[in-house]
Amino acid sequence: MDVVGGKWKALILWELRDRAHRFGQLRQALPGVSEKVLIQQLRELETDGIVHREVLQQVPPKVEYSLTELGRALGENLQPLAMWGEAYVAHIEATHLPA
What ranges in the chain are assigned the alpha helix state H? Answer: 9-15, 23-29, 35-47, 69-95
Q: 35: helix, coil or strand?
A: helix
φ and ψ at residue 62, rounded to 5 degrees:
-125, 155
What pTM did the predictor assign?
0.82
Q: pLDDT value at position 58? A: 86
pLDDT of 97 reads 64
Q: For residues 36 and 33, what is the distance between their CA atoms, to the nearest angstrom?
A: 8
Which residue from 21, 79, 83 is spatially nearest to 51, judged by alpha carbons?
21
Query: Is 90 exceeded by the pLDDT of residue 34?
Result: yes
